[in-house]
Structure formats: C-alpha cells, structure tokens
Amino acid sequence: MTTDAGAVRATWIAPSADIDPRAVLGDGSTVADRAQVREFARVGPGCAVGYAAYLGPGVILGRQCTVQDFALLYEPTLLEDRVSVGPGAVFTNDRFPRAVVPSGRLKSAADWVLVGVTVRTGASVGANAVCVAPLTIGRWAIVADGSVVTADVPEYALMDGIPATRVHWVGQSGARLKNVGPGLFRCPVTGAHYSEHDGTLRPLGIAPR
Amino acid sequence: MIPAPETAGHPLIEATADVDPAAEVGAETRVWHLAQVRENASIGSGCILGRGSYIGPGVILGRNCKVQNYALIYEPAVLEDGVFVGPAVVFTNDMFPRAVNPDLSIKMAEDWHPVGVHVGTGASIGARAVCIGPVSIGRWALVAAGAVVTKDVPDYAIVAGVPARRIGWVGRSGIPLRRAEDGRLTCPATGEHFHERDGVLLAERESG
C-alpha cells in the first residue's frame, strides 16, 4: 500500500471478495480475498481492505485507510483519513449484547440502539484490539495490540491494557514523545513540539533542535 | 433475518458454508458465508452462525443462539438457548495445550482430554473474549469484550478483564442492574428485582 498523497492506482478487488453492489469503493482502493463489504459501505480513495476483513452496512472509510486481515468493523463505524486498523481488530456496535430479548425471542436490528466507533485522522488501532462502542479515538492516537478500549481516547494518546489506559503520548510519526520540560514534549523523529495541558496534548509545530 | 416464505421451516445455508452432512441444523437457522459446522454438531432452530464461524464436532447449540463472525467454538462446548457469542470469540478445549507428547510424538486425540465450555440460557460473550475450558458461564451472564474467562461465572454476573473478574450484575435485557437504597437490585429495562446472597444473584420470583 502506498501512502503517497494523490497517488492514483487502479482499484483492485480480489476474486473471492464479497462486495455488495450498493457499496462504493474509491479510486485506487484494494479489497483482498474473502473480505466482505456490506451494502451502503463507503470506502474512500486509496484504502486497503485486508483478507477476510468485514465492513458492516454503511461503514465509512475516508482516504488512505488500511484495514488489515480479519479486522471486523461493525456499523456505524466511521474512519476518517489515514486510519490504520490492525489485523483482527474488532469494533463493536452494541453496548448490551444479547441474542434474545427478555421474553426469549431472537433479537433483531430493531431491538437495539446501534452505537459506533469513530476513529479520527491518522490514528492507529493495533492487532486484535477491541474498541467497545460508543467511543471516539482522537487524531494520531495509537491503541496497542490486544487492548480493549472502552472510553474516548484523546488525540496523540498511546493506549494499552484491558481496559485500555493512556501510557504515553505519541507524535504524528507514531514515536513516543520525550518529555523535555514542564508540560513540553518533543517528537524524536520529526522534532515537533507538543504541549500538555489538563490531559490534552496540542502540537506547537516544528522547532529547531 | 426473516427467511423467505419458500424457505420457512428450513435452515438457510450459504453456498460457501461448510456444513457436515452428519451435523443437525434446526429450522430457520441461518448459516452465513464461510462458516463451518463439523460432524455431529447439533444446532437448534432460529440460530445465526456468522461469516467464518466454526462449530466443532458434536458441539450443541440450543435455540435462537447468535454466533458472530469468526467465533471459534471447539468441542465439547454446549450452549443453551438464546446465547450470544460475539465476533472473534474463542472457546478452547485443552487446559494443557501441546502439539506433541513429551517424547515429541505428535499429540493424537487419545493423548488428551477435551474439556468444554458450557454457556447458560441468555448469556452473552463479548467480542474477542476467550473462555478457557472447562468453564461454565451462568444464565444471562455477560462476559465483557476482550475478557479471558478462566473460572465459572455466576448467573447474571458481568465479568471483565484478564483474568475475568466480576464487576457487576446484569439483567436479561443486558443492561447492568441498579442498586436501590435498600440493597435490592433492579433491572432498569424490565423492572425485575433481584437480591444478592453469598455472591449469588437470585431473581425475586425464583427465590420463593
């Protein structure tokens, strides 16, 4: 998968991928074997959907998102641009899951309120992580492999554990930020500085070393 | 899913699903793409087996169970009625997993004893949870997403974490129970009352 902004590639759909005719795939998107893209899902340009991944009805992916093998994104998941979802990650849509209603009848779509996971631009969700809707993952945040996210994630947070808690801050590069002063952080890769205030991190721009 | 009229009374099995001829699949059960149902499995009526799910040999499901995408249910699991198994859930069957015996010969069926997961009526297993057999999940219990269940779960318990611990109680609707000032627990959805005694929850109509 290329990450060059504006790169134009042919859309490619593997022979055994199951794409509903009412789904929309953007230019240059690829869908691997045995993936399923349900009705009304919208996949933006330059996305890659991995082997046996599942995009539920009406799920939306922005530009250049990557959804790895066996990831399961139930509706109403929304990924903004350049979101990375690791292999086997699951985004749920039911806070109170039951197969049946209290009387014993099979629960149908009308019997529960769908809740969704929103992942904002640039964020990454690790392998086998679970995001329990409803929640929003902030821009450029990272969810570590195998974590279970149960609440909103701030921008630039590195989340880990079950339930996931913030263990670090990360920059746009994904590298852990170095604490270089009171409330001041620096990305070792890009040199960008960030300030922390009341549990939120804000970019300050690139400063010379 | 409402079956089309001409299929009423029969299971609906997608062409890419792999259902063994020796498996039993109940009326109006829906088996989605790429699911596998092994020999001698018994699936009740009105169930939904999601895409890519796996039901091991001889596994028993009651009526109206929902098994979501890529859930793996190894034998000898037993699910009573109305059980929800979330996406990518795994029920294991070997407490001491090894590919080989101590002499490095490959482990065969007779070299180990499969142990099963039992799930009571109405219980729910959240996404990507793992239940390590042998273990029993009580009726209407709820296992949180990503939990790893290593010991029995009481009826109506909510368990979460690795290893899973009880963090609350839940009613049949799936909504956590609220505790009133008198210590009585109430389901906000159905209005049913419960009381807790020695770590066990009893619905008031059941406790006599």
- Domain containing B52 — which CATH number? 2.160.10.10
Say whether B124 and A98 touch across the interface (CB within 8 A).
yes
The predicted structure's pLDDT at residue A1: 44
- Report whether pLDDT(A48) > 80: yes
Q: How are strands ordered across the β-sheet holding B72-73?
A: B18-19, B36-37, B54-55, B72-73, B90-91, B130-131, B148-149
Return d(Cα B85, Cα B72) in angstroms, integer. 9
Domain count, chain B: 1
Q: What is the mean pLDDT of residues A79-95?
A: 97
DSSP B23: S
Count Cβ–Cβ pairs < 8 Å, chain A vs chain B. 100
User: Could you report the per-residue pLDDT of B58-104, keeping only the tens digit for each?
Assistant: 999 999 999 999 999 999 999 999 999 999 999 999 999 999 999 99
CB-nearest to A96 from B46, B145, B175 is B175
The predicted structure's pLDDT at residue A7: 52
The predicted structure's pLDDT at residue A3: 45
Does the residue B57 lie in any domain?
yes
Return d(Cα B50, Cα B61) in angstroms, integer. 14
What are the backbone dihedrals phi and psi of residue B204, each rounded to the nearest 5 degrees, phi first?
A: -65, -35
Tell me which residues of chain A, numbers 50 to 89, contact chain B at a CB-CB cutoff of 8 Å: 52, 54, 70, 72, 74, 88
Name the percent of chain A lying above pLDDT 70: 93
Looking at beta carbons, which residues of chain A come within 8 Å of B83? 99
The predicted structure's pLDDT at residue B46: 96
The backbone region for B6, taken as left when phi is positive above 0, alpha when psi lies in -120 to 50, beta otherwise, is alpha
Return d(Cα B175, Cα A116) in angstroms, integer. 18
Return d(Cα A17, Cα A32) in angstroms, integer. 6
Say whether B145 and A92 touch across the interface (CB within 8 A).
yes
- Report whether pLDDT(B39) > 90: yes
Say whether A162 and B33 touch across the interface (CB within 8 A).
no
Return the bridge partners of B124, or none.
Answer: B84, B142
Return d(Cα B48, Cα B29) in angstroms, integer. 6
- Report whether pLDDT(A59) > 60: yes
Least Cα separation, residue B76 to chain A (angstroms):
21
Question: Which residue range(s) make up the domain with B16?
Answer: 5-171
Does the residue B135 lie in any domain?
yes
Return d(Cα B195, Cα B207) in angstroms, integer. 9
Return d(Cα A42, Cα A57) in angstroms, integer. 9
Does the residue B178 lie in any domain?
no
User: Could you report the per-residue pLDDT of B133-170, keeping only the tens digit for each?
Assistant: 999 999 999 999 999 999 999 999 999 999 999 999 99
Peptide linkage before B163 cis (omega within 30 of 0): yes
- Report whether pLDDT(A208) > 70: no
Return d(Cα B46, Cα B183) in angstroms, integer. 38
Looking at beta carbons, which residues of chain A come within 8 Å of B126? 92, 97, 130, 132
Q: What is the mean pLDDT of residues A92-103?
A: 95
Q: With the CA atoms of B36, B39, B45 and B50 taken in that order, what torsion angle do they form, in degrees rounded to the nearest 10?
A: -10
Q: What is the mean pLDDT of residues A106-110?
A: 87
Mean pLDDT of chain A: 93
Does the residue B183 lie in any domain?
no
- The answer to whether A29 touches A43, Cβ cutoff 8 Å, is yes
Does the residue B189 lie in any domain?
no
- The answer to whether B43 touches B29, Cβ cutoff 8 Å, is yes
- Per-position b or e across A137-167, b if 16+ CB within 10 A of its CB: bbbbbbbbebbbbbeebbbbbbbbebbbebe
3-class SS at B130?
strand
CA-closest candidate to residue A71, choices B30, B1, B145, B127: B127
Does the residue B126 lie in any domain?
yes
Using alpha carbons only, what angle is made at residue A135 by residues A130 and A141, rounded to the nearest 5 degrees?
Answer: 75
CA distance to A113, A165, A183, per residue, from A196 (Å): 36, 17, 5
- Per-position b or e across B142-160, b if 16+ CB within 10 A of its CB: bbbbbbbbeeebbbbbbbb
Looking at beta carbons, which residues of chain A come within 8 Å of B175? 96
- Report whether pLDDT(A174) > 80: yes
Cα of first residue to Cα of last residue in chain A, in angstroms, is: 33
- Report whether pLDDT(A4) > 60: no
- The answer to whether A3 touches A64, Cβ cutoff 8 Å, is yes
Return the bridge partners of B66, or none.
Answer: B48, B84
Does the residue B10 lie in any domain?
yes
Optimal mutation site among B18, B64, B79, B169, interface A, most CBs of chain A within 10 A: B64
Does the residue B203 lie in any domain?
no
Residue of A nearest to B140 (CA): A98
